[in-house]
Amino acid sequence: MYSIGQVAAFLGISKDQLRYYEKKNVFSPTQNEENLYREYTPEDIDRILMVDFYRSLDLDFKAIARINQKTDLDDLSAILEEKQNKIAAIIQQQEELKQGIQMVQQTIEAIKQKLNQISIRPFPPQKVLGDFSEFRAYEEFSALHKLAEAKPAMTQLKRLVLFDETGIHSSKMLITKDAAEGEEGELLQFDECVYTIIEDKETNEDLIGRVFETILTYMNTHQLEPIGQAIACMLLLAMEDEQAKSYLEIYVPFKK
């Protein structure tokens, strides 16, 4: 029989760790009736080695308790496969987070390069899931929650603006998602648009109107005829001097 201090020294495990394992009921050392000290048998030490090994694989004590019971190699393989599948799911989630961060970094670089610059590009196909009146119509956001696919709201909202030669006369918020190839339903897609990125602050009054004036001047100069629609998409939200600011990309489709 061995004392807790001896076992801790043999195995390089602290006494507190041994007591923790005992508390988790993975083994039960006997108690000396005279001095009430714990005493460990060789079998106890084998169990401690087993627990320490499977803890190194991050198995929880519930799984270790199953192993601690009578298990054959198939049972053990099944327990390890469960853990492997959990790890694979975590890795997949972390990879998706990494890709999301990389996309935001790319967006930041695009903003730096293209802010207030005008170019021509297509508006990628979006499937329209629903709509509501305005971005600040928070009471209507329930429609977004019902239709959204567990993605941030700002990535699924597009502001559709209708205008003519007299100016902007209406707009609404569209709830969208990237359209898969061959997807059916209401799609929003334009092959050629005048495109720019703008910075919008709470202090910028009638910014969209001024931007449209700039874009329409560009279109007139280049003999491009707008179809009377524009789409504003939020790229990024940030703070400056304790005030919110956003970066929007603007698409103004024109006739071919």
Q: What is the pLDDT of residues 134-175, one digit of tens each?
A: 656 556 556 555 655 556 666 778 889 998 888 788 888 888
Determine the distance from the C-alpha atom of residue 8 to the mean position of all C-alpha atoms in its chain, rounded to a whole number: 44
Question: Comparing C-alpha atoms, which of 156, 159, 154, 195 is closest to residue 178?
Answer: 156
Question: Comparing C-alpha atoms, which of 165, 227, 171 is closest to residue 194?
Answer: 227
Query: Tens of pLDDT along 191-227?
Result: 999 999 999 876 555 677 788 888 989 999 999 999 9
Determine the distance from the C-alpha atom of residue 209 to the mean position of all C-alpha atoms in its chain, rounded to a whole number: 33
Please give the domain boundaries of the chain with CATH numbers for all domains: 2-69 (1.10.1660.10), 115-255 (3.20.80.10)
User: Which pLDDT value is given to residue 236?
Assistant: 92
User: Which pLDDT value is given to residue 80?
Assistant: 95
**Torsion on CA atoms 239, 244, 245, 246, rounded to nearest 10:** 100
User: Which pLDDT value is given to residue 117?
Assistant: 94
Question: Comparing C-alpha atoms, which of 143, 163, 165 is closest to residue 153?
Answer: 143
* 42, pLDDT greater than 60: yes
Q: Are strands 119-132 and 243-253 parallel, antiparallel or unpaired?
A: unpaired
pTM: 0.72
For residue 200, list its beta bridge partners: 246
Query: Tens of pLDDT along 101-118?
Result: 999 999 999 999 999 999
Residues 187 and 178: their CA atoms lie apart, in Å, by 10
Share the mean pLDDT of the chain. 85
User: Which pLDDT value is given to residue 220?
Assistant: 92
CA distances from 37 to 28, 41, 236 (A): 13, 13, 63
User: Which pLDDT value is given to residue 165?
Assistant: 80
Query: Tens of pLDDT along 55-99?
Result: 999 999 899 988 888 778 999 999 999 999 999 999 999 999 999
